[in-house]
Amino acid sequence: MSELETVKIPDIGDVNDVEVIEVLVSLGDTISKEDSLITVESDKASMEIPSPAAGVITSLLLKTGDRVSQGSDILVLDVAAASDTGGSESAAGSDSSSAKDKSDTQEGQSAPAASSSESKPAEKALGGNSDAKPVSTDSSKSVASDQDRQSAEEHYELVVLGAGPGGYTAAFRAADLGLKVLLIERYPDLGGVCLNVGCIPSKALLHTAAVIQETRGMAAHGVSFAEPEIDIDKLRSFKEDVIGKLTGGLAGLAKQRKVTVAQGFGRFQSSHVMAISASMPDEDNDQAPRLVSFDNAIIAAGSRSIRIPGFPYEDERLMDSTGALQLADIPQRLLVIGGGIIGLEMGCVYAGLGSKVTVVELSDGLMPGCDRDLVRPLEKRLKKDFENIFTGSKVTGMESTDAGLTVNFEGGKAPASDTFDRVLLAVGRSPNGHAVDADKAGVDVDERGFISVDSQQRTGVSHIFAIGDLVGQPMLAHKATHEGKVAAEVAAGKKSYFDAKTIPSVAYTDPEVSWMGLTETTAKEQGIAYEKGVFPWAASGRALSMARSEGMTKVLYDPETKRVLGAGMVGPNAGELIAEAVLALEMGADIEDLALTVHPHPTLSETLNFAAEVAEGTVTDIYIPKR
């Protein structure tokens, strides 16, 4: 049994964003403790990084020319192999194995990842499942055996379970790298929850609601419109047309890449065999499942809406986000349970269409986890657009009546009870780890449904990967797509790993809220030193010309190095503006870099530039008293 350890750059002083000038070991080498692994060079000196343990190198995670910092992955070491050989062989020792080592090194650069061992799962600094437990290595065969192939109807080099943004990205990337790929999706069309019943349809409806709200606001500028007449069938058709264009495009891309697509529910039968059924396991189905064998698999099965026990789910007036997006009607009164991003976005949709919306949130404020100064302008506007917002409150019961759904409340300023035409339950999502029988393949799934992975998206079984919502927060499509590419590349034998410094978050409410990197809330909780520059949109010519002066942009930075640590924005199009801040963090930019970058004027994008100037003390668009 292998015992794998991911070797990282240790804390040895001034090792921050330095260049690897030489890799001193190769794949398959047997090394001793303290053997030098790589040489790095800073502007002050060059130094060699020693190995913290003896073992056999199973994977190299960097190359000459890469830039690394403390905590960066160097390689994966099988420390159990050292005990098998007495731990005395160095990288240059054992003449009998040297020829084989060189041969393995050559093969390891091009062979599929299933033929190599996996790293121990490492917690991801941002976006990973921080509660995930380390997984032990499984000694499964590297490719499907003859017995596995004979038990199945078809064989593929890679099976991807789930065709959401992460899944289809993984399948397409693997196909581009030459693998024979099967993509399994439960919906009739590719795209998963995001394209079919999530991100995309919600944005189509949010755009419609925003246009309605904007036209109403134009009355203050002397331009008045009659109240809109909403043809709900045409609106629903518009939403479906948007979905159809995207999912149809994906079908064409799959065909062009010769990716085989199977509709159904995939579940593991073993570590190299998967069964595809036409229905869920708890549904009656006389049809025998389709069995396929595989060399590698990527689990991209996503998540599902959380349900609160005891609610009348047989009543169609109680909806989850999928039901709300079907747009069956426009209720006169709508209750949204959950004041997070999904709940507030759908609240904005229905408020724009004419519903009286009430939001109830258990926490003391809306959008928990986001800095309060970013939420405050949104909450101020929503108090005008919504009928009620009850924070620090919870729903204790719900009953179906002829008049509607009667809901009981507790806490905060919520009434004891009230009746609504429809109720949207939006209290979060739960990963589908237990829904795919991953345990039959030897993959560990924790009690919540999360699957632990390493920086190459490997599970505890070397040829099975997991991506997206299944591997931890944040549950965002743009995280899943990048993880999907990594998993596909590793499965195809490439040296790739997920190393994002941050995953940006966006609430597509009105106004939009976006943030990335370190938040002030986290910095205060963890005692991280920071300073910030804040620029109010009330001083932005572009924001004023749009009559949207409620926004603000802030940037957090390290007091010593001045490097960007995080940023946040609230206002129209904040989701489009955050990308520049993400790039700044990834590139190691400092406040001066942002302040000296010429931005077009007048734009909302220059508010990030102005926030950096506030931090630098060079801003002229507002007055900052000298300290």
**What is each CA distance from 188 to 226, 252, 257, in whole angstroms?**
40, 14, 19
Could you tell me which residue, 64 or 426, shows the higher pLDDT?
426
Asked if the model's pLDDT at residue 157 lies above 90, the reply is yes
Per-residue pLDDT at 510: 95
Among the listed ranges 29-33, 50-54, 111-115, 619-623, which one has the minimum average pLDDT value? 111-115
Domain 318-427 in CATH: superfamily?
FAD/NAD(P)-binding domain (3.50.50.60)
Categorise residue 289: left if φ over 0, alpha if ψ from -120 to 50, beta otherwise.
beta
Asked if the model's pLDDT at residue 12 lies above 60, the reply is yes
Per-residue pLDDT at 542: 96
If you average pLDDT over residues 104-121, what whole number do you get? Answer: 39
- The 10s digit of each residue's pLDDT in 317-352 is 999 999 999 999 999 999 999 999 999 999 999 999
If you average pLDDT over residues 65-76, what whole number do you get? Answer: 88
- The 10s digit of each residue's pLDDT in 242-277 is 999 999 999 999 999 999 999 999 999 999 999 999
Per-residue pLDDT at 109: 38
**pTM, rounded to two decimals:** 0.78
Q: How far apart are CA 564 and CA 584, in angstroms?
A: 7
Per-residue pLDDT at 595: 97
If you average pLDDT over residues 349-373, what whole number do you get? Answer: 96
Q: How far apart are CA 268 and CA 77, in angstroms?
A: 29
Q: Where does residue 604 rank: exposed (0-12), middle (13-18), buried (19+ CB within 10 A)?
A: buried
Fold (topology level) of 511-616 = Enolase-like; domain 1 (3.30.390)
Q: How far apart are CA 531 and CA 580, in angstroms?
A: 19
Q: Sorting pLDDT into bands at 50, 70 and 90, what band is 129?
A: very low
Asked if the model's pLDDT at residue 297 lies above 60, the reply is yes
**Is residue 451 a contact partner of residue 497, using CB atoms and an 8 Å limit?**
no
If you average pLDDT over residues 75-83, what whole number do you get? Answer: 77
Q: List the structure tokens of 617.
A: 């003390």
Q: Sorting pLDDT into bands at 50, 70 and 90, what band is 13?
A: low
Asked if the model's pLDDT at residue 141 lies above 70, the reply is no
If you average pLDDT over residues 385-400, what whole number do you get? Answer: 97
Among the listed ranges 116-125, 221-230, 585-594, 605-614, which one has the minimum average pLDDT value? 116-125
Per-residue pLDDT at 66: 86
Q: Sorting pLDDT into bands at 50, 70 and 90, what band is 509?
A: very high
**E strand map for 428-580:** 429-431, 464-466, 505-507, 512-517, 531-536, 552-557, 564-571
Determine the CATH number of domain 146-191+233-305+431-491. Answer: 3.50.50.60
Q: Do domains 146-191+233-305+431-491 and 318-427 have the same CATH topology?
A: yes
Per-residue pLDDT at 144: 74
Q: How far apart are CA 309 and CA 322, in angstroms?
A: 19
Choose, from 434, 478, 482, 601, the residue flagged as catalytic. Answer: 601
Q: Sorting pLDDT into bands at 50, 70 and 90, what band is 282?
A: low
Q: Residue ranges per domain, the chain? A: 4-109, 146-191+233-305+431-491, 318-427, 511-616
Per-residue pLDDT at 120: 35
Q: Sorting pLDDT into bands at 50, 70 and 90, what band is 1?
A: low
Among the listed ranges 63-77, 222-236, 420-434, which one has the minimum average pLDDT value? 63-77
CATH architecture label of 4-109: Beta Barrel (2.40)
The answer to whether residue 601 is catalytic is yes
DSSP codes of every residue in 401-454: ETTEEEEEEESTT--SEEEESEEEE-S-EEE-GGGGTGGGGT--B-TTS-B---
Asked if the model's pLDDT at residue 213 lies above 70, the reply is yes
